[in-house]
Amino acid sequence: MAKEQRSNKWAFLFYKESAPGNYLEILESFHIPFILSPWHDKDINRKTGELKKAHKHGAFFFDSLKSYNQVSELIKDKLKCPAHVEPIMSPKGMYDYFVHAENPEKTQYKIDDIEIGCGFELDKFLINNNNDDFLSTIIDVIDKKNFTEFNHLVRYAREENPTLLRLIVDKTYFFAKYLDSRRYSTDKSKITSSENSLTNTPNETSDVISSTTSIEV
């Protein structure tokens, strides 16, 4: 890889056995938004079958382009980690690797064990990289709670799952139209039910009259 390559997103790695205990404080001192994977302490080397050394994958999100050497020099001494760093081509691919989301045969790590700092917006990151999953979750909530009003959905998200609120705000038009559709379907069903009830009433009256006439005869 060309050392002069520049990017605003760089990935790095460090090992638990050599990492300083205050690695989070050190990363915070750089004043660069960062995200760290959970400790990968159950990974198996496919070739040898042995347990890999516990490690964390990390990523910096710079405001401007940085070179390989700039990032490498930043972390190798203070974090006591390998000098090798790599530009991030796909944040989603990076996230999937952090927790092995797309590799069910590997150890599944918890999202709750992801660490962040310096203003990194984890909720936004998770939504951007799991958009389809979060969309499905919100639709399921709407259906299960039988919501037909947008303000009810917003209030629920704010109180029960703030992570969903950001996606609801970003997709306001979509969810408003979906709720409108549900409301229309519900209203139409009520009207149809009412019309059927009115249609049946004359028949019932006719039956009563017929019965009365029969008795009189």
Contact 13, 81 (CB under 8 A): yes
User: Cα–Cα distance between 39 and 56 in angstroms, integer?
Assistant: 5
The CA angle 68-112-20, to the nearest 5 degrees, is 50
Task: Indicate whether 200 pLDDT > 80.
Answer: no
The pLDDT value given to residue 208: 43
Q: Answer whether residue 106 shows pLDDT above 90.
A: no
CA atoms within 13 A on the CB side of 177: 3
In a 13 Å sphere around the CA of 151, the CA atoms on its Cβ side amount to: 0
The residue ranking higher by pLDDT, 196 or 119, is 119
Query: Who has greater pLDDT, 20 or 201?
Result: 20
Q: For residue 150, what are the CA distances in angstroms to 40, 133, 153?
A: 41, 20, 5
Q: Where are the alpha helices (DSSP H) in the chain?
A: 23-29, 68-75, 91-99, 122-129, 131-145, 150-160, 162-170, 172-216
pLDDT at 187 over 80: no
Average pLDDT, the chain: 84
pLDDT of residue 12: 96
**pLDDT category of residue 63 using cuts at 50, 70 and 90:** very high
Phi, psi dihedral angles at 111 (to 5 degrees): -60, -35
